[in-house]
Every structure is written in structure tokens, then in C-alpha cells.
Chain A
């Protein structure tokens, strides 16, 4: 009995495998870059793979672990992206240390997105029915459209807002416009590197798995599996639903900050319904509640469309076929069995067993 209790975290091995996979992929990429054998096309996608992975695993927390459908995840990414970029642009001359500035930008982006998560959660998750999908859908579109007409400028008197144009900000001489409506924010310091992206991905992953394997995560999954039973053992349903949802939103904000510090100009129109659905596709393909699957799906599906560009007209066709093939591989019973028998874990176990046997014989 003692040995059973020692094994506090049952999925520790699986987590290590996922992190190992990320580290190996990272090392391979860095080697390719160092030897000059990586194409520019792929190099430009590396950071994107990281933020799409973060978006996918954070959405998986809402969809797979909390068991609620969200159709507006891009809205939280958008908030993180703009708040983070705004912060970096404003503080670029005051906080000279890039590491500190970027860390603060990530933190503030995450907190802002998380705050919106709390607000939506408080409004929607208290209700009995499944209204989250429809409300998040509306939320995503509202965020996108509001930021699209938002003008923010700064001068010595402080911050000026407007919803019409630059002129109506009434900035003094020497004031700067930071958010320019449909043109968004440009000139954000390009602080997002592949290394930082990978570190943030691993951190986000750890936050989510540690959450899942803690007392709170257990409560969240209990609610997902059977709300009435969870209530009967004294679990506060609303509290844990809001907790999981806002954590998911905050981590989407992290992806947003990474996004806006990776490109020259961040525009809110990029964060519409299409992006929310794309993230949801990663989650569904990778498997509900399966974080590693989300990461693999996000990486493959970020990489694929770019690589299929040379096929021009057939590009989206091939993309769709691959989507269907991945879906089958993930969900067809025969494939699930095949994967079980050929998983990395089973190979590792086999090797460990062989090793033990040899030891015994020796």
C-alpha cells in the first residue's frame, strides 16, 4: 500500500514525455538554425507554433477539462495582445531592461485577459444552461470590433481615448498615438523569440497540468463529469467553473502577448471568429483534455498550410484531407488501439521491463 501512496501524481510520466518532446523539438530546430539548414519560411513560423500551442492548451482547459464550449477564445488572445503591446510601447523608454519589460507585459496581458474571463464567468457560468458558447462568441466579436475603432494616444497630460479618429484624441504637440483604430498597434518591440516562446509554452503547460492534478482541478473535472454529484459532496460549482475559465482566459492572454511582440503590426481583425474556430479545431483534433495532442495538432496545422503553398490551388484541399486523416487517426477505435500498443510510453515501459529482467537474471 505504501508504494501506491508515494505515487502522488499519476500522470507525472506523461507530463515528462510531453516536456521532453518539446525540448527535443526545440533542440532540433536550434541545431538546424545553427547549421543554416532551416528555411526562412519555417524560421518565421517557430514563434507562431508556440503561441498557437499555448492558445490550444489554454482552450483545452475550458473545453476538455471544464467541459464547456467556448467560441471566443481569440477575444482573450486579442486582449492580451493589445494590452501587452500597449504596455511595451508606453514603457519602452522608461523600462530599459527588455527582460523585465517583456515579463511585465506578459503578466499584465495575462491579468487583463483573465479579468475579462472572470467577468464573463461571473455573468454566464452561474446560469444553469450552457450559455457559454453563445456569450463567448459574442464577446470575441465585440472585442475585435471595439478595438478595431479604438484610438488611444498619450501626451504629457495623460492617456486620451477616442472611438472615431486620431484627430479627436486632441493630443498636444509631441504626443504619440499608440492604438490607431483599424491599423492597430505598430512598432511593438519584437521581443518574442523562439526560445521565449518555448519557455512560455512549457510554463503554460506546467500551470495547466499542475492545476488539473490539484485539488481545484479535481473539483473542476468532477463538475464536468457529474454536476449533481459534485454538489452533493459540497463542491462549489460556480467558484470552480469561474476559476478554470478565467485561468484559461489568462493563459490565452499570454499567447496574445507573445503574438503581438512577434510581428510589426497587430490588428484586431486577425482575432475574429475564424481564429477561435481554428484553436477549437486544434483542441478537437488533439483530443479533449489531451494537452499533448493539442500541442501536436497546433504545430502540425500551423506548419502545414505554409508548406503546402507551392501547391497553390490544391493547398486547402490537401489541408482538409489532412484534417480528416488526423481526425480518423485520433478517434477511430482501430487507430486508438494501434496508438496504445505503439505509444512512446509503452516502448519505454518495455525497455524498462527488459532492463529489470536482465538485472534479475544477472
Chain B
């Protein structure tokens, strides 16, 4: 079964074809890597998939549902969640509340019951807290639950972003350079966490990464983007040994 199927996705800014005929099919439960040199259009692909940009052309099907042209909010509700290359946390909220914002749509009580502190408030908040702590524990963030998100060290901020995305209970997770700025031991730990995530949650992941080692180590398939176009696509051994890929990455 396909989780994500993208056909002929295009967008240009002015004259620049940032993403040009992008095609990808990702199976349920797969961990797919999206790599490419700086400015290749990787983040733009994420912005297209999540409705931040509307595509000029093409079609995006998520788990059988056509989400082309839908809003970011609708796409999240349809089951797609993401993290950002430049971390975007709710800085002045606690770590716990950052995750609870992610739980917002699946845990409801009215504004009035919140203000009047009706039983539904206490019931829902309690279960939200339990669920949020469960997610935080996966990332080893439970001890920092009450800290402000800004006060977390860099590596943990990246993890918190993933935790918040997971809280929306997505079918598909898009991670934009989750290991950026991490030292090797933090990167190893992150790889281990991602592997664990896939066991715990039944989730499909598309991951942008510069770090070849990380990509080759955990991804089942790799897509290489160059100047907005497909350069290679397949299993890691083939892709990483592809002379075109080597040329694009190492120069001539």
C-alpha cells in the first residue's frame, strides 16, 4: 500500500524552477531519505507537501486522499506532520505545552468549559498530560517538561519539534534536517530514536538530511534532488554509488 504518492509536482519562484516534475511513491511504514546539495529544493518539497506553498502543477495523494491544494491545517488533519529546518518551537511555552498544542485537535473541550473549569476540562487535560508525557519519554525529555522550550539545548529542541509533530497523531512524518547542528553522539542517539519511533508508532517517514552516514544508515530508500529535479531514486547502495550523485555531491 502507498502512503504517499506524488505525481509531477512543480513550483517556480519567478523564473526559478525550484521543484520540477517531482515524483515519488512511499510505501506505508517506509523510511525514505531526501538528499541533495544546498538549494536543491528539498525544503520546498516539504512546503509543497504541507500546503505552505500551492503547487503550480501536480498531484499529492496521502493514504488515498487527494490533498493537493489543501491548507496546511487540513493537511495536518489528513495525517501529515512536519518539523522545520530552522527550529520553530513555541518558545515561551513549556516543553509539555509545546506537545499539548500538538494534541490540540484530538483532545477537545469547549472554551467555555475551560474558563468555567467544568469536569470535561479536568478530564481532557489529565489525559492530554498523560499522553504528552508518554511522547516526551520516547525522546527522553520528560525531566524538562516544565522548562521553557527556548531554554532547551539545541539537540533537545530538535527532538521536541519531532515530539510535537508526533502529538498530532500523523500517518506520515516529514523531518527537515533533524540532525543539523548536532554532534556525532547526538546524531547517533537521534538515529536510534527515529528507529524506535517506527517500532512504537505505525509511521511513515520522509527525511531530509545532509549527513550521508545518517541517511545510508537508516533509510530504506533514497531520493536525490538536484536543481529541483530527480537525480537518482532507489535503494541506498545503488544511489550512493551512482556516478551522477557522486558528481553532484563532490563536484567534478
Contact = CB atoms under 8 A, between A and B. Distances in A.
Is the A/B pair a real complex? yes
Interface of A: 1, 4-5, 8, 10, 207, 210-211, 213-219, 221-222, 224-226, 228-236, 243, 289
B114 interface: yes
Give 3 closest A-B pairs by Cβ, nearest first.
A214-B114, A234-B76, A229-B88
A215 B105 CA distance: 10
Interface in B90-105: 90-94, 97-98, 100-102, 104-105
B73 interface: yes
Contacts of B125: 8, 215
Contact of A217 (B102, B114, B128): B114
A211 B115 contact: yes
Contact of A10 (B72, B94, B128): B94
B56 interface: no
Contacts of A8: 122, 125-126, 129
A228 B88 contact: yes
- Counting chain B CB atoms within 10 Å of each CB, the highest count among A217, A219, A226, A243 belongs to A226
Contact of B115 (A210, A219, A225): A210
B102 A233 contact: yes
A215 B88 contact: no
Interface residues of B, number: 47
Nearest to B164: A233
Interface in B50-101: 50, 52, 72-73, 76-77, 81-82, 84, 88-94, 97-98, 100-101
15 contacts: A4-B146, A5-B133, A214-B111, A214-B115, A221-B97, A224-B92, A226-B88, A226-B89, A228-B52, A228-B84, A229-B84, A229-B88, A232-B81, A232-B84, A234-B73
Contact of B101 (A5, A213, A222): A222
Given A4-B145, A214-B114, A215-B107, A231 B73 contact: yes
A225 to B, nearest CB: 4
Contacts, number: 112
- Counting chain A CB atoms within 10 Å of each CB, the highest count among B72, B128, B168 belongs to B72
Contacts of B48: none
Contacts of A207: 115
B108 interface: yes
B146 A225 contact: no
Contacts of B97: 218, 221
A218 B146 CA distance: 14
Give chain B's interface secondary structure class: helix
B114 A234 contact: no
- Counting chain A CB atoms within 10 Å of each CB, the highest count among B100, B104, B117, B167 belongs to B104
Given A8-B125, A229-B164, 12 more contacts: A4-B146, A213-B114, A215-B108, A222-B101, A228-B52, A230-B90, A233-B81, A233-B164, A233-B165, A233-B167, A234-B73, A234-B77
Contacts of B88: 226, 228-229, 232
A211 B114 contact: yes
Interface string B210-231: 0000000000000000000000
Nearest to B117: A210
B193 to A, nearest CB: 19
B124 interface: yes
Interface string B153-179: 000000000001101100000000000
Contact of B126 (A5, A210, A225): A5
A215 B104 contact: yes
A235 B101 contact: yes
B104 A225 contact: no
B109 A215 contact: yes
A222 B89 CA distance: 9
A218 B102 CA distance: 10
Given A8-B125, A225-B90, A232 B115 contact: no
Contact of B93 (A211, A216, A218, A231): A218
A233 B104 CA distance: 8
Nearest to A214: B114
Interface string B111-155: 100111100011011101110010000000010011000000000
A49 to B, nearest CB: 24
B114 A210 contact: yes
Nearest to A219: B104
Contact of A233 (B92, B101, B108, B111): B101
A243 B91 CA distance: 22
Contacts of B102: 233
B104 A5 contact: no
B70 to A, nearest CB: 12
Nearest to B137: A1
B150 to A, nearest CB: 9
B68 to A, nearest CB: 18
Contacts of A289: 92
B116 to A, nearest CB: 8
Nearest to B92: A225
Contacts of B129: 4-5, 8
